[in-house]
Amino acid sequence: MKFDILIGLGAGIFAFLLVMGYNVLPIGLLIAVGYFFWTFVLSRQVIKNGNGVSIATTAIDFEDIGGQSVAKKELQEALDFLLYSDRMKALGIRPIKGILLSGPTGTGKTLLAKAAAKYTNSAFLSVSGSEFVEMYAGVGAERVRGLFKRAREMVRKEKKTSAIIFIDEMDILGAKRGSNVSHHEYDQTLNQLLVEMDGLKADQGAHILVMAATNRPEALDAAILRPGRFDRQVKVDLPDKEGRIAILKIHTKNKPLAQEVDLEEIAHETFGFSGAHLESVTNEAAIFALRENADEITEHHLHEAVEKVMLGEKLDRKPTEEELQRIAIHESGHALLAEVVRPNSVSQISIRSRGNALGYVRHYPKDDLYLYTQAMLEEQIMVTLAGALAEEQILGTRSTGAMGDYEQALNLVEKMLLAGMSSLGVTDVSLLSAEQRQPVTKGILADLEERTMRIIEKNEQALMQVTEILKTEESLSGETLRAHLKHIA
Ligand code: ATP
């Protein structure tokens, strides 16, 4: 992009000088020579020098990776092919050439590749798929060739028997061929990678294993996944609660934790967090401790850090008195409903702006749930609708503050339709027209709005009590909130 702007700018200046009557021929020649030099000499040099390829001496063990026990086990099994290659050879098993790690971002795929290198005592080269994509034809393919050559050189230099080439963002390099219409270059690069992998043989002196990572395995060209190429696929998922505890332990090992800190509770609160999020929580907590000049990291620092990672930095945005009243009513509405339908579920309610939110209610997630019943979905929808309905009940009108809530409610209704929980029964929702879907969606929402409104009306006094306290305190813990909602029904 920057390069395009530069070319445009250059052409403009060139034309201007020409119009002004300057002799631009020598400058033109100079630019042409420079361009040739860059394209055919320098860019080749860059490939030779392995620009973009990072070579790390990896000191990561599988024990340094929290959770992911299934992924680690599958990976270690695959790596044993490399470690015991003589036995494999004796049995006529063909060597493994590629392992694909797939899963959400920040779950430890890079760490697993590094640990694999240490486990197998291999040389390690890491490169990102995006670094192969160049505007010059053939550069990507040549980079791939250079990469394999370099891996062999490293094995020789480091006196090892194997090398692991780790390609991150594989979906950029290995997208379905033909999907990048304007870029023939992508296809050439991918073809070259496949050629290199097909040519890998154990008796070339060095065994090269390609490990690739992607967040979008569905975008990969089928040829990549063909047996004999990336024929091992390891799923690296978001960590479950046990995994989160293990990751938190790893990242607090070098930090002074106060005695009262319960990492299990932090793990409970952080459902859906990746390893990278959890690392960030421990780091932010240490920064909060530093800001307060504390010697130890306390529960309070960790809770603050979870909120920061989840919702973003606190903002100095100052709403007007009137807005603040509305925000407090809105958040109290959410909290009230949450405590009625799922007692003890609110962990925090606040009217301090954070990230995009003017206020927020945080809930304790139910223990790592992967299935939801109809009742659970309906309750969640009622909690999301309660903010706007509380505004309507107390102030007579709704506001734009509920737009995000409606989006969430509609997503949950969509889930109900897909799961056959609506009056349509089990049906292929994608075949329904908007006219068929709309009345069903509307019906579900109207019914749940009515149920929510009844609860708000019944508990209006408690709602206003929480609103008033929230306006002075700005933020309340779940326990304090519940003390004011003792008599709700
Ligand atoms: P991406 O898909 O974005 O490249 P990734 O899956 O490769 O992400 P990593 O780069 O391995 O993720 O992880 C990023 C950081 O998150 C690590 O350096 C580490 O601090 C932390 N992390 C992630 N997963 C784990 C884990 N399972 N155990 C310990 N730390 C982890």
Q: State whether residue 67 is helix, strand or coil.
A: coil
Q: What is the domain-level CATH number for residue 430?
A: 1.20.58.760
Check: CB of residue 208 under 8 Å from CB of residue 165: yes
Looking at the fold, whether 342 and 455 belong to one and the same domain comes out as yes
3-state DSSP assignment of residue 180: coil
Within a domain: 397: yes
CA dihedral 238, 240, 241, 247 (to 10 degrees): -50
- For tokens 């091992």, name the residue: 232
Instruction: Give the pLDDT of residue 139.
Output: 75
Question: What's the gap in Å between 104 CA and the centre of ligand 1?
Answer: 10
The residue contributing the CA closest to ligand 1 atom 29 is 65
pLDDT in tens, 10-45: 777 777 777 777 777 777 677 766 665 554 444 444
Ligand 1 centroid to Cα of residue 91, in Å, is 36
pLDDT digits (tens, 9 = 90+) for 197-218: 887 765 566 788 999 999 998 8
Known catalytic residues are 331
Query: By alpha-carbon position, which residue is closest to atom 16 of ligand 1?
Result: 276
Q: From the CB of 432, is ligand 1 less than 6 Å away?
A: no
Q: What is the CATH number of the domain that holds 126?
A: 3.40.50.300
- Ligand 1 centroid, distance to 279 Cα (angstroms): 9
Tell whether 109 and 168 lie within a shared domain: yes
Q: Are 223 and 229 in contact (CB under 8 A)?
A: yes
What is the reported pLDDT for 114? 94
- Would you say the CB of residue 67 lies under 6 angstroms from ligand 1? yes
Asked if residue 316 is part of any domain, the answer here is no
CB-neighbour burial class of residue 160 (10 A; exposed 0-12, middle 13-18, buried 19+): middle
Is the same domain home to 294 and 431? no
Q: Please count the structural domains in the chain.
A: 4
Task: Tell me the one-letter amino acid at 243.
Answer: G
Most confident of 47-61, 298-312, 448-462: 448-462
306 and 372 together in one domain = no
Same domain, 134 and 279: no
What pLDDT, on the 0 to 100 scale, is given for residue 1? 42
Q: Which atom of ligand 1 is nearest to the CA of 276?
A: 16
Closest CA to 369 of 334, 336, 345: 345
Determine whether the shortest distance from the Cβ of 68 to ligand 1 is under 6 A.
yes
Query: For the residues 475-484, what does the mean pLDDT come to?
Result: 90
Residue 33 belongs to a domain: yes
Tell me whether residue 23 is in a domain. yes
Residue 105 has pLDDT above 90, yes or no: yes
Pocket flag, ligand 1, residue 108 (CB < 6 Å): yes
Instruction: Choose the residue to mutate in 107, 109, 234, 270 for probing ligand 1, maximizing ligand atoms within 8 Å of C-beta.
Output: 107
Q: Which residue has the higher pLDDT, 376 or 429?
A: 376
Beta carbon of 275 within 6 Å of any ligand 1 atom: yes
Structure tokens at 320: 């007007």
Does residue 215's CB lie within 6 angstroms of at least one atom of ligand 1?
Answer: yes
Q: Which domain holds residue 69?
A: 54-235
Between the CA of 65 and the centroid of ligand 1 the distance, in Å, is 9
Report whether residue 381 contacts ligand 1, using a CB cutoff of 6 Å: no
Residue whose CA is at the smallest distance from ligand 1 atom 9: 108
The pLDDT of 134-157, averaged and rounded, is 81
Cα-to-centroid distance, 109 and ligand 1 (Å): 6
Q: Do 62 and 208 fall within a single domain?
A: yes
My answer on whether 15 and 114 are in the same domain is no
Q: For residue range 379-405, list pLDDT tens digits in order.
A: 999 999 999 999 999 999 999 989 999
Nearest CA, atom 2, ligand 1: 105
Measured from the CB, is residue 95 less than 6 Å from ligand 1? no
CB neighbour list of residue 144: distance below 8 Å, 6 or more residues apart? 132, 189, 192, 193, 196
CA–centroid distance, residue 27 to ligand 1 (Å) = 50
Q: Are residues 325 and 406 in the same domain?
A: yes
Tell whether ligand 1 has an atom less than 6 A from the beta carbon of residue 192. no
Over residues 95-119, the mean pLDDT reads: 92
With a cut of 50, say whether residue 235 has pLDDT above it: yes
Question: 359 with 484, same domain?
Answer: yes
- The structure tokens listed for 54 are 């990072």
Cβ distance 347 to 307 under 8 Å?
Answer: no
Ligand 1 atom index nearest CA of 215: 2
Structure-token match 């690069």, residue found: 189
The identity of residue 154, as a single letter, is M
pLDDT-based confidence at residue 47 (cuts at 50, 70, 90): very low
Per-residue pLDDT at 316: 73
Q: What is the mean pLDDT of residues 155-171?
A: 90
In terms of domains, do 127 and 22 share one? no
Last residue of a domain, one of 211, 235, 259: 235
pLDDT of residue 48: 44
Same domain membership, residue 462 and residue 346: yes
For residue 401, the one-letter residue type is G
Please give the number of the atom of ligand 1 that sits closest to the Cα of 113. 11
Distance 466 CA to ligand 1 centre (A): 40
Helix (H, G, I), strand (E, B) or coil at 303: helix
C-beta of 247 in contact with ligand 1 (< 6 A): yes
